[in-house]
Structure 1
Amino acid sequence: MNKILKYVLIGVLVLGALWAAAFFIKSNSKEAITYETQHPFISNIEKKTVATGTVIPEDEIEIKPQISGIIQKIFLEEGQKVKSGDLIATIKVVPNEQSLNQARGRVRNAELALNNTKIEYDRNKSLFDKGVISSQDFNNLQLQYDQAVQELENSKADYQIIRVGSAGGSTSANTNIRATVDGTILEIPVEEGDQVIQSNNFNDGTTIATIADLGKMVFEGKVDEGEVAKLEVGTPLKISLGAVEGKELDAKLRFIAPKGIEETGAVQFKIEGDVDVQDDIFIRAGYSANASLVLEKKDDILVIPEALLQFDSKTDKPYVEVSTGEQQFERRDIEIGISDGVNVEIVSGLSESDNVKIWNKTEPIKRGEEEGTEEAEE
């Protein structure tokens, strides 16, 4: 009885071991992968780069006062279109007390000088009429009198300019701030009551307004030093604006900086391009933009998808596997050219008739295995 029970237990263990082995082999067995192939084909490749930057007006004109004072009235607002000569603001003059006193003293001195000259002129005129003095002496007195009259007029005009900002009868007062060009007012950085300083040789002066023509825009961006050598002035650009979706603007590269600037460890070169502004798109100054530039282009060349490439682990040279029979492949070293990130140029090593192995194909997951994996994760 004990022997029978012993044999039964041994039989159960053997059957259990066989069942476990069969289950393990079945669960871990994989079907042989059938690799597909693809022919090289003729296509065009453009190698592009993208430069980030902004779209700004070609020229921004800063309007500055010709006299110091306080903003009395602002007549226009930011965003308004103006013509050259349009009145933007007026300034109330706050004269310097010392300069005003000096100008007033100059007027008084000119009046005294004129009075004295007039007395001499009147006295000698009567003598000249009687023939007592010569014509030359009288002409000299006439000249002195005329000069004294002119000096008084000049001193009074200077006094008026210092006191109120303009001389009487002037066609354009210094206190009137006017547009000097046609365009759109981008910014008025001052408010009524602000004190402003005139522009002179020692000071840029206070900016009253900034005006630009928004019909003449320029893309300003930067490119990496590894790509700048491939650019040429006149290269066409495609400008995408961050604020305007689904629209691209044409542009033409007009400037490449001769000197780079290091930023975060990389040398960047400034570029500029003339933007062809479309009438149906309103572009505001300072829009962020991306410019797509074609660095290199080849037409009608033999290419394959980059996904078919493999690289030698030692030499890092590219190669592919070419079909020699039913699911049989051999390695073939190739030479590649430019790439656009999807397709790559084949310089040598392949022809259109070759069948190139799609090597990175993965085995499809079975339904049962997928469910088992999900249950294990749960």
Structure 2
Amino acid sequence: MKKILKWVGLGVLILGALWAAVFFMKSNSKSAIEYDTHKPFTASIEKKTVATGKVIPEDEIEIKPQISGIIQKIYLEEGVKVNAGDLIAVIKVVPNEQTLNQAQGRVRNAELALNNSKIEYDRNKILYDKGVVSNQDFIALKLAYEQAEQELTNSRNDYQIIRKGSFGGSSSANTNIRATVNGTILEIPVEEGDQVIQSNNFNDGTTIASIADLGNMIFEGQVDEGEVGKLAVGMPLEISLGAIEDKTFEAKLKFIAPKGVEEAGAVQFKIEGDVVVEDDFLIRAGYSANASLILEKKDSIMVISESLLQFDKTTNKPYVEVATGEQQFERRDIEIGISDGVNVEIVSGLEENDEVKQWNKTEPIKKGVEDEEEGEESEE
């Protein structure tokens, strides 16, 4: 009996050892990582691009003098709203000495010519009254006399314009610098006492002030050559300004440059868009801005997160792994469409009920290994 019990006990030990070995092998054969899965879902995707630039007035007018001189008085400041005709500054004329001397000589010659014409006119009038001089000759002498008077008047006026900038104290004198349009003064780059040069065929002249309507603004920016072909005049823009947080402004694309400019090895194309300015916000000229443009949009399409995608190293084609059982997956090649950087369109290869493996899992650190590493660090 004792012998039988001994063999029974030995058999139980052997069976227990075998069961423990099998259990241990099965436990080690399971993956230490449990992967999450996600199903495709329906959403809308917008493919956007962002153009960097600035917001500027559509029309900015530079006020330049019609005569050279020195700024005598500036009456307005930057930021002031003006109407066409408002006086901005006054120029004190400093005439060229040679030009002034020539004008004086012209006046003197005109006086001499007038005196001579008057003598001839007076003498021939007496003869005309006596019937000695014909009517035709007298009319010619009278015309010459009147022309001499007009020439003297013109020469005197020219002399006054050269010396003072105007004659007769006219309110529209060249020395008065006035606004030519309604708007806001953006800049007055001169100061009292500065010398200014008139605008002519050979010189742009000195800018006295620049004026613009801040209620009529445009976005001016640049886009890359790879995206400019997807743009079209009339597309909506969404403008965000660095100076105004948590606020966007609507705009409409109105211009795409026909010629690009190479910058840092990339060809950039200039674009412009009309910005809708709201009365509650003051947009200053030159604010830096970003314009968001919708290049492509699809509504109610099947999508998955881009983090679920993998790409074949040989063909570079996308694929995913789909669950076939508990923590068991098979490879599935798919065709993708547009992407917004977060979600990607699934054109074919997946169904709505498929469970797609999430790849962004890492091997967990075992507690024993963790304690061992901490011990080594403390010993050091």
Which residue identity is paired with 2:278? Q
Secondary structure of the equivalent of 2:79?
coil
User: Which residue in the other structure is 1:320 paired with?
Assistant: 320
User: Which residue in the other structure is 1:282 paired with?
Assistant: 282
Distance across 2 between alignment mates of 1:123 and 1:375 = 133
Query: Could you tell me whether the CA contact under 8 Å between 2:308 and 2:357 is conserved in 1?
Result: yes
* CA offset digits 1:228-261 (Å, max 9, x no partner): 1111111111111111111111111111111111
Distance across 1 between alignment mates of 2:150 and 2:308 = 94
Q: Where in structure 2 are the equivalents of 1:183-222 lying within 5 Å?
A: 183-222=183-222
User: Which residue in the other structure is 1:35 paired with?
Assistant: 35
Which residue identity is paired with 2:326? E
- TM-score normalised to structure 1 length: 0.89
Query: Could you tell me whether the CA contact under 8 Å between 2:216 and 2:275 is conserved in 1?
Result: yes
Which residue identity is paired with 1:211? I
User: Which residue in the other structure is 1:148 paired with?
Assistant: 148
Q: Where in structure 2 are the equivalents of 1:138-177 lying within 5 Å?
A: 138-168=138-168, 170-177=170-177
Q: Residues 320 and 29 (structure 1 numbering): CA distance in 2 closer, same or farther, change over 3 Å?
A: closer
Which residue identity is paired with 1:244? I
Q: Residues 357 and 135 (structure 1 numbering): CA distance in 2 closer, same or farther, change over 3 Å?
A: same
Once the 2 structures are TM-superposed, how far is the Cα of residue 38 of structure 1 from its aligned partner? Answer: 1.2
Distance across 2 between alignment mates of 1:215 and 1:373 = 66
User: Which residue in the other structure is 1:78 paired with?
Assistant: 78
Secondary structure of the equivalent of 1:223?
strand
User: Which residue in the other structure is 1:6 paired with?
Assistant: none
User: Which residue in the other structure is 2:329 paired with?
Assistant: 329
Distance across 2 between alignment mates of 1:325 and 1:354 = 11
Secondary structure of the equivalent of 2:149?
helix
- TM-score normalised to structure 2 length: 0.89
The answer to whether the aligner puts 1:241 opposite 2:234 as a matched pair is: no
Which residue identity is paired with 1:310? Q
User: Which residue in the other structure is 1:13 paired with?
Assistant: none
Once the 2 structures are TM-superposed, how far is the Cα of residue 124 of structure 1 from its aligned partner? Answer: 1.2
Q: Residues 254 and 377 (structure 1 numbering): CA distance in 2 closer, same or farther, change over 3 Å?
A: farther
User: Which residue in the other structure is 1:104 paired with?
Assistant: 104
Which residue identity is paired with 1:260? G
Once the 2 structures are TM-superposed, how far is the Cα of residue 351 of structure 1 from its aligned partner? Answer: 1.5
Once the 2 structures are TM-superposed, how far is the Cα of residue 135 of structure 1 from its aligned partner? Answer: 1.4
Which residue identity is paired with 1:313? K
Q: Residues 374 and 175 (structure 1 numbering): CA distance in 2 closer, same or farther, change over 3 Å?
A: farther
Structure 1 gaps of 5+ residues are 1-27
Distance across 2 between alignment mates of 1:50 and 1:61 = 30
Q: Residues 102 and 30 (structure 1 numbering): CA distance in 2 closer, same or farther, change over 3 Å?
A: farther
Which residue identity is paired with 2:249? L
Quote the sequence identity (%): 79
The answer to whether the aligner puts 1:262 opposite 2:296 as a matched pair is: no
Query: Could you tell me whether the CA contact under 8 Å between 2:33 and 2:364 is conserved in 1?
Result: no
Corresponding pairs, count: 352
The answer to whether the aligner puts 1:301 opposite 2:301 as a matched pair is: yes
Secondary structure of the equivalent of 1:115?
helix
Once the 2 structures are TM-superposed, how far is the Cα of residue 169 of structure 1 from its aligned partner? Answer: 5.0
Secondary structure of the equivalent of 2:137?
helix
Q: Residues 374 and 138 (structure 1 numbering): CA distance in 2 closer, same or farther, change over 3 Å?
A: farther
* CA offset digits 1:85-139 (Å, max 9, x no partner): 0101000000001100000000000000001101111111122222222211111
Which residue identity is paired with 2:126? S
Structure 2 gaps of 5+ residues are 1-27
Secondary structure of the equivalent of 2:271?
strand
User: Which residue in the other structure is 1:128 paired with?
Assistant: 128
